[in-house]
Amino acid sequence: MRLTPILMLTAAFGMTLPALPVLAQEAEAAAEAPAPAAETLPAITVAEVTSRRLTDRVIASGLVGAVEEVQVAPLIEGQPLEALSADVGDTVTEGQVLAVLSRSSLELQRSEAVASLAAAEASIAQAEAQLVETEATAAEAQRVADRTKLLQEQGSAPQAQADTATANAVSAAARVQVARQSLESTRAQLALAEARLENVDLQLSRTEVKAPVAGKITARNAKLGAIATAAGQPMFVITRDGALELRADVAESDILRLDEGQPARLRTAGMSTALEGKVHLVEPTIDPVTRLGRARIAVADPEQLRSGMFVEAEIIVAERDALAVPLTAVGSTAEGITVMRVRDGVVERVVVTTGIRDGAYVEIVDGLAAGDLVVTKAGAFVRAGDRINPVLDAGNTN
């Protein structure tokens, strides 16, 4: 019996003919099976550490008021107000006449003072003439006393005559002293009359109520016919040089960050653009009830504001270019402030030092370098040592 080739193969390998189809099926299945799958890494959004312009600011608010208010009161009292030459809203210069008081009674007082001065001057002339006369009489009496004493010593005149001449000389000398004192008294009266006249002239000059400083009138209480008095309300209130300031209330935690000269941006309701300002005073005390401090901000363009307006201020404490990361990338652990840095696809936790926080970004002072990649949402999906597929967030790049 002759064997076919298939039977010969079957006999050689010790297999039976029915096993051949099974072997073919296994070979086909092995050829169709897929290759082993590669490892799949999670896609995590990361941000690049870049340099940004960061601004450290303090937000405060308060009311606008005058830097310096000057109250104008009459310098003389008892005179009725005759004329007003200024009103609320007027801008005045230093020395400008604002109101005029009546001069009638003061003019009469001046006439009286002039008459008293003339009388004093006449009295001085009389006193001077009297002094000359008494001095001449005293000199003559002294000469007579000297001659009489000489004659008495020679025996040509009695003692009584010498005594009388001496007494007359002493009396004349006393009258000279009286005349001198009278002249001094008259001169004092003249000085008093001159002082009275100067006082009346001063009062007359003060009937014109003048602006002590330049500025804008914000209040007027003076009324025609009213009697001038320094008691009660002032006649006028002037904002010196029209300068306004914002008296901003600042949180206790922020007040120590403020200093004179720091710029500020001011906004109020209905204002399309911010006004420029500058901190010119930080008050040294904190309100014990509200726990708020106060900063006074000078307004660069006071014409855009009015006293009493409510204004919000953005005080610029610092502004600089610095390395920054999204605020969401920063976390806090027992080690301190940290971020999740990605290097070669591996996540690691890094302790950093932060600085300015400006909106959605925070300054990195130490711990990272420019170009480093950090997980945008630190700690949300990854842990240190995890391998990830970093996906750069285009919205967080410059």
Q: Could you read off the pLDDT of 31-55 as tens digits, one per residue? A: 555 545 456 888 888 999 999 999 9
CB-CB contact of 340 with 329 (8 Å) = yes
Supply the pLDDT for residue 15. 42
pLDDT digits (tens, 9 = 90+) for 206-237: 999 999 999 999 999 999 999 988 888 899 99
pLDDT band per the 50, 70, 90 thresholds, residue 397:
low
pLDDT at 7 over 50: no
pLDDT band per the 50, 70, 90 thresholds, residue 92:
very high
Paired tokens of 129 = 């003439």
pLDDT band per the 50, 70, 90 thresholds, residue 310:
very high
pLDDT at 195 over 90: yes
The pTM of the full predicted model, rounded to 2 decimals, is 0.64
pLDDT at 155 over 80: no
| Backbone dihedral angles phi then psi of residue 8, each to the nearest 5 degrees | -65, -40
Architecture of the domain defined by 71-98+211-238: Beta Barrel (2.40)
Q: Where are the domains of the chain?
A: 45-54+321-396, 58-64+240-319, 71-98+211-238, 104-205
Q: Which CATH superfamily includes the segment(s) 58-64+240-319?
A: Efflux pump adaptor protein, beta barrel domain (2.40.30.170)
Residue 279 CA to residue 266 CA, distance in Å, equals 11
Average pLDDT over residues 20-35: 50
Lowest mean pLDDT, pick from 3-7, 76-80, 310-314, 387-391:
3-7
DSSP letters spanning 95-162: T-EEEEE--HHHHHHHHHHHHHHHHHHHHHHHHHHHHHHHHHHHHHHHHHHHHHHHHHHHTSS-HHHH
pLDDT band per the 50, 70, 90 thresholds, residue 10:
very low
Architecture of the domain defined by 45-54+321-396: Beta Barrel (2.40)
Question: Could you tell me which residue, 18 or 314, shows the higher pLDDT?
Answer: 314
From the CB of residue 192, how many other CB atoms can be counted at a distance below 10 Å?
14
| Residue 321, beta-bridge partner list | 53
pLDDT at 384 over 50: yes
Residue in 51, 35, 135, 66 with CA at minimum distance from that of residue 302: 66
- Mean pLDDT, the chain, as a whole number? 86
CA distances from 211 to 90, 95, 231, 238 (A): 12, 5, 18, 8
pLDDT band per the 50, 70, 90 thresholds, residue 255:
very high
Supply the pLDDT for residue 70. 95
Paired tokens of 262 = 């720091």
Residue 279 CA to residue 246 CA, distance in Å, equals 9
pLDDT at 193 over 50: yes
Residue 36 burial (10 A CB sphere; 0-12, 13-18, 19+): exposed
pLDDT band per the 50, 70, 90 thresholds, residue 56:
very high
The percentage of the chain sitting over the pLDDT mark of 90, rounded to a whole number, equals: 54
CB-CB contact of 338 with 383 (8 Å) = no
Residue 32 CA to residue 25 CA, distance in Å, equals 11
